[in-house]
Structure 1
């Protein structure tokens, strides 16, 4: 397989719904090497490009050649009456042929669970602090010496060094993302300037869709399309220095080879369990992310509303849910 192959994302904005089958057929007729899937309710694709940003195409499913990215994108936009963009780390191309605005895609449910490995005391009195920190109501439970937390609404990620390592697992439809905030990545961070960057994850692993190959070819072409469907990883540092991935994974007790193996897996129903195991997360995380269990239903979980009004509404809507002995004692003696 050529070494200069890169992955390019193909974003499609059409006035009418465009299906995975339509996109796959259009790419296959042009010989474009790619995979197709659904990302956040909208059909999307990945295609192979070379170092110059040209699109890899096959001639009769055998011989590889290249085609101008601009020509491919303009042709697809015209056929689909859509706005189409191709983006990679070496090329960005856009073409517009959409007669009307795109209807917003119906977003699938979003489930996001945090696992907080640092600063875990088990003290129930500390749980309300998370609602203030994330600026959102939260449900939180201590499991195996770590906090497992689900925020309600749009939390503001802010993870100081003392709370790290922190892992967030997010599922949206077929998309799965794991973000890691590493303690090692914060070495040397001091002052409020660094605090502004505490919401940026240091490592991100993503399985964007359940990709399917455009062609049914074998050999080199099949290998390239298989590569296009792999999970991806990226890194970012608040301090502008390279992230030590091995050090970050070691904080979790995770092994690099196991993480890399998950990136090669098919994005199927078993992927969540494989990811939870590889990142050494509590098994309950997989159940919450799947939606098969409500975190508030787990023994020992506490729901914390951020505002007094929210707490009043929560108690009215959940009259059968009694406070813990600790919470009742704290409320009694804090008057």
Structure 2
């Protein structure tokens, strides 16, 4: 690990100034992803700017009935917050599915959004040992012809097929969350749908944040009507990364879907908002046939690799099962 300096920022202005002054500086929240990447040599910061003294560790109501979640709120505190559990249950479920209690106690909301892929060609081995366009732009993507069982089936390119590892971000995508940030020029916001860049030919450019920006929080709009749920499929029950996941919310009236929110995880370089499936569901009967048709509409654009085609039937079954559970819950209210 490269030697580095450490500074605990006194306020947001202090943090922004330090990050702007040194292009090799990195913000530090809980460190649960960054420190791992430092150990493997993927990240080699000259300076760590600790954000934990910043006043960004609260969850509060917005004027329109939503919630604002500070960037340094821990995952544990987010999952346990009574208003999150009551109004956004899929978010609580996603956070609890994402890691052990020890990690949730350290990991922060801002760090979770900014965590980098867990693709083995990105995280493993010495730099340059395997081709990875995220680590070394232009070097290639070893996963295309290597081990890609857990890699992308949607929105990938010939330059990168890695998937985003966050569970929390999938639920935030379904709830139309907005990412708040601060720069030296003032505050700004990015809808989560625009926060992550398409992978294209520049997979190392992962977010649309302006240079020198610091994530300060996440804004949740008022919760959609109807129940919500997060379901995750993984190789083992205890804190493994997803093979496929789904955050969903359904508003059903008189047996007909009035509104649907769906986002897939572990299928793309970012949380995948299933717009085609949502469109197919709106106005359709709330039954398994319609749920399957909606999944098929979304997955029609998938481009699986030779060894990850299993994700397509997995996601189809996961969609039907989760939406059926939501329909049954709505009917029982």
* Shared fold (TM-score, shorter chain, > 0.5): no
Q: Specify the structure having the higher radius of gyration (Cα).
A: 1
Structure number with higher strand proportion = 1
TM-score, structure 2 as length reference: 0.24
